[in-house]
């Protein structure tokens, strides 16, 4: 038997005020997007903003349904809209933030496993990384250079 290790690498900023202007603007777009989330059941609003290689920004927010499995996360709302409307344009960055009705989120919010898998596939399809910028309502901001940092053993097509 051998033992393996997985390492995660990311940058930590004390708050959004330390970000480069373009990253801060993208995060602000995500924050504005979460205001339109339909989160009547959980009270947990998520906003996502994609920066495309052509400079356009695509927004998404979580959309809940009384039949919870029918709900969709903000990240996938934005990514699927992007693929449907900008099929040949690469996603450069995604900013993700959240706000809960029951508690103040002071730590960065990470995408769920399903969203990580979708982002991983988009990286593979476009043959380039998607930088991820994550934050809660306030506090630290994490920046990952690639989705692979959060999903190092992603399911890939070689398995099919």
pLDDT at residue number 65: 94
Distances, alpha carbon 150 to alpha carbons 20, 55, 111, in Å:
22, 25, 9
Cβ(39)–Cβ(79) under 8 Å? Answer: no
Name the 3-class secondary structure at 112. coil
**Catalytic hit among 64, 75, 123, 149:** 75
Name the 3-class secondary structure at 44. strand
- Write out pLDDT tens, residues 62-115: 999 999 889 999 999 999 999 999 999 999 999 999 999 999 999 999 999 999
The mean pLDDT of the chain is 94
pLDDT at residue number 160: 67
Domains, the chain, ordered by start = 17-159 (3.40.140.10)
The pLDDT of residue 159 is above 90: no
Whether 149 sits among the annotated catalytic residues: the reply is no
pLDDT at residue number 6: 85
Q: What is the mean pLDDT of residues 130-157?
A: 92
The pLDDT of residue 55 is above 70: yes
């Amino acid at each position: 038997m051998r033992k393996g290790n997985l390492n995660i690498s990311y940058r930590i900023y004390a708050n959004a005020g330390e970000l480069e202007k373009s990253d801060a603007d993208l995060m602000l777009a995500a924050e504005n997007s979460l205001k339109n989330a339909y989160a009547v059941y959980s009270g947990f609003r998520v906003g996502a903003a994609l920066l495309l290689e052509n400079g356009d920004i695509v927004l998404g927010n979580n959309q809940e349904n009384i039949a919870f499995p029918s709900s969709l996360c903000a990240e996938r709302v934005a990514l699927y809209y992007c693929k449907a409307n900008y099929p040949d344009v690469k996603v450069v960055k995604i900013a993700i933030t959240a706000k809960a009705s029951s508690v103040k989120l002071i730590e960065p919010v990470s995408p769920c496993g399903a969203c990580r898998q979708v982002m991983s596939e988009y990286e593979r399809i476009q043959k380039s990384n998607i930088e991820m910028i994550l934050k809660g309502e306030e506090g630290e901001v994490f920046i990952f250079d690639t989705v692979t940092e959060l999903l190092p053993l992603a399911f890939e097509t070689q398995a099919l």
